[in-house]
């Protein structure tokens, strides 16, 4: 009862305000409420998306651990093991970068989509009343509330379109998957190197020795490592790209926004559009 009495008291106080104060409270309250909805939805989808990606992220940790714990012999040159593991670290860091960007855009896109669904449902009900009563016959608060919801919907649409939320999410997620596949290939390479299956060749143990012996061909092994390192660098360089696109063409001027709001307002102006209940 106390809650109902408090709401009733606030409503009576609201009725006593001037139209300008009513408009400010209605618009400000609508914007604040939609912002709260947006942040709550982002928080909810953040936890859910983290759960959905757990298997991928855990598998990436397993692959990275396998690479970092592998014992690779450079046959006298320790630079090769360091370079190969450095390449894995670069892949891991960049993959995490694209994952964070993808999740940021996904949360924004999901939050905007749900908010637009809410606005569409509430705005549709308000529009039904406006069309039935006519714009002139509707209350001032109802008209302001409808325009506040309409302007919020326009802003959210611009926010999604201009910053290409869906496109940026999809492209960063694809790059995340590409780096995951690359790291798996690196893991296979290092596993093969860990076998210590070195190339062999017949060589004399000394210049004066008559017979040749079967020895490790260090030169050919280092050449194969050079080729492998160069190939990995080429793959990493090919995928190197900061994915963040903005579509400024979808930006609308104040005149265009005003026209859209005016078109919405005109939908309820004519009494001939009234729908009998």
- 188: Cα separation from own chain's centroid: 30
For 211-267, what is each residue's pLDDT tens digit? 565 566 677 778 888 888 898 889 888 887 777 777 777 777 778 777 777 776 665
Q: Determine the Cα–Cα distance for residues 19 and 16; give it in Å rounded to an integer.
A: 9
Per-residue pLDDT band at 50 (split at 50, 70, 90): confident
179 domain-assigned? yes
182 domain-assigned? yes
72 domain-assigned? yes
More confident of the two residues 36 and 213: 36
Domains of the chain: total: 1
What crossing angle do the helices spanning 140-162 and 165-193 adopt, rounded to 10°?
A: 30
132 domain-assigned? yes
For 72-119, what is each residue's pLDDT tens digit? 777 777 888 888 888 888 999 999 999 999 999 999 999 999 999 999
Q: How confident is the model at residue 114, as a pLDDT?
A: 93
Tokens found for residue 100: 């964070």
9 domain-assigned? no
2 domain-assigned? no
Report if pTM > 0.85: no
- Whether 133 shows a pLDDT value over 90: the answer reads no
240 domain-assigned? yes
32 domain-assigned? yes
Question: Taking CA 24 as the corner, what is the angle to CA 21 and CA 30, rounded to the nearest 5 degrees?
Answer: 135
**Structural domain boundaries enclosing 24:** 19-198+215-269
């Amino acid at each position: 009862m106390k809650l109902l009495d408090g709401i009733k008291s606030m409503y009576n106080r609201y009725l006593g305000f001037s139209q300008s104060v009513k408009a400010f409270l209605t618009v400000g309250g609508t914007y604040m409420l939609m912002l709260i909805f947006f942040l709550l939805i982002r928080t909810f989808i953040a936890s859910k998306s983290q759960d959905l990606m757990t298997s991928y992220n855990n598998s990436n940790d397993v692959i990275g651990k396998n690479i970092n714990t592998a014992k690779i012999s450079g046959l006298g040159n320790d630079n090769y093991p360091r370079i190969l593991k450095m390449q894995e670290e670069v892949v891991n860091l960049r993959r995490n970068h694209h994952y964070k960007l993808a999740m940021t855009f996904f949360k924004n896109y999901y939050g905007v989509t749900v908010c637009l669904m809410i606005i569409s449902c509430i705005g549709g009900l308000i529009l039904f009343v406006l069309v039935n009563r006519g714009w002139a016959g509707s209350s001032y608060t109802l008209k302001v509330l409808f325009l506040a919801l309409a302007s919020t919907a326009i802003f959210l649409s611009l926010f999604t379109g201009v910053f290409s939320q869906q496109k940026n999410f999809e492209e960063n997620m694809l790059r995340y998957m590409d780096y995951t596949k690359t790291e798996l290939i690196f893991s296979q390479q290092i596993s093969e190197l860990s076998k210590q299956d070195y190339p062999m060749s017949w060589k004399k143990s000394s210049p004066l020795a008559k017979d040749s012996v079967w020895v490790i061909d260090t030169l050919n092994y280092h050449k194969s490592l050079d080729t492998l390192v160069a190939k990995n660098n080429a793959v990493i360089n090919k995928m190197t790209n900061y994915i963040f696109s903005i579509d400024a063409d979808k930006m609308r001027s104040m005149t265009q926004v005003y026209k859209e709001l005016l078109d919405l307002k005109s939908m309820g102006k004519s009494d001939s559009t009234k729908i009998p209940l």
